[in-house]
Structure 1
């Protein structure tokens, strides 16, 4: 048995908000320890506040992304990254005019049951 796995066809998560989510590793590959996803958030995109039960690391490839972390507004640009600790209230958005391409890494893996999105 090989001790590596090459992901050639990531799972494309169906969305209704124009955001591209390609999960390379995570629950879709039977990995509950970590998830790694390539994402592209369209201009003017946002999602509800959430309080995830996982640490989330984000690395910006292109564009800018806004984070509201508890009461702080943080904007990251290409080449910058952030770690947001689990059980932290956060909102992700791209209020800018250009798409934002980034990588998101969650530990343990992202799941809808543990992201705790507000309605």
Structure 2
């Protein structure tokens, strides 16, 4: 048995906000204790506040992304990364005029049951 897995067909998460989410490893694709997703947030995109029960690492491939973390506004640009610890109240957005392409890694793996999105 091989001790590796190659992902050639990531699971494309259905969205209704124009955001592209391609999960390479996680609970919806190749089962893993962490999740790795390639994402593209369109211009002027945002999602509700949430308080995840997992750590999330984000690496910006291209563009800019805004984070509201416990009331503090942080903007990351191409080549920058961040780790946000579980339990932080956060809102992700791209209030800019260009798409933002990034990688997201969650540990443990992303789950809608553990993201705790506000209505």
Q: Give TM-score scaled by structure 2 length.
A: 0.98
Where do 4+ consecutive residues of structure 1 move more than 4 Å? Answer: none
Unaligned 5+ segments in structure 2 are none
Q: Deviations over 1:10-61 (max 9, x none)?
A: 0000000000000000002222x10000000000000000000000000000
- 1:62 equivalent in alignment to 2:69: no
Unaligned 5+ segments in structure 1 are none
Partner of 1:91: 91
- 1:35 equivalent in alignment to 2:44: no
Query: 1:56, 1:19 → 2: CA distance?
Result: 18
Q: CA RMSD in A?
A: 0.4
SS of the residue 1:114 aligns to: helix
SS of the residue 1:27 aligns to: coil
**When the two structures are aligned, how many residues end up with a matched partner?**
118
